[in-house]
Copies of this chain bind each other. A is one copy, B any other.
Amino acid sequence: MPVQRAVKPFDRKQSLLPRLRVVVGGEIALGPGKVELLEEIHAAGSILKAAQRMSMSYMRAWTLLRTMEGCFRTELVTKNRGGKSGGSAQLTRTGRAVLRLYRRMEKDCLKATRPGWRQLRRYLNLKKRR
């Protein structure tokens, strides 16, 4: 195991976030927010509920979804427009594959950047600001 500097309880929290962005023809096909939306739809089985969990409007969720789907060959989500319940939605096979690949790339990125991150952290000021 690598030796890490001891992190004191009052130190500021430090993190490296791999915010991968997939761009197609100038449009953002996937990024952290869009992928979170896919994940929430998968968990909730509903676009409305996913939007609510992410504190975004139903309209906004649809817009993000439309942008994403314009960048892929097939649908990412099957939509069944419903009544009061807001309908149901499930990720398609492609949707699930895309979600899985994105999360895998994030993990691969974090793992690969670990040596650099360990070095970079030494330069950080973790003291609380005066």
Contacts and interface: CB of A to CB of B under 8 A. Distances in A.
B17 A73 contact: no
Contact of A20 (B18, B22, B98): B18
Given A71-B125, A98-B123, A124-B29, A113 B12 contact: no
B108 A116 contact: yes
Q: Give the number of copies in the complex.
A: 2
A109 to B, nearest CB: 4
Contact of A17 (B23, B25, B26, B117): B23
A112 B112 CA distance: 6
Nearest to A32: B19
A20 B124 CA distance: 16
A105 interface: yes
Interface residues of A, number: 44
A126 interface: yes
Given A12-B25, A18-B20, A116 B94 contact: no
A123 B105 contact: no
Contacts of A12: 24-26
Nearest to A95: B123
A53 interface: no
A112 B16 CA distance: 16
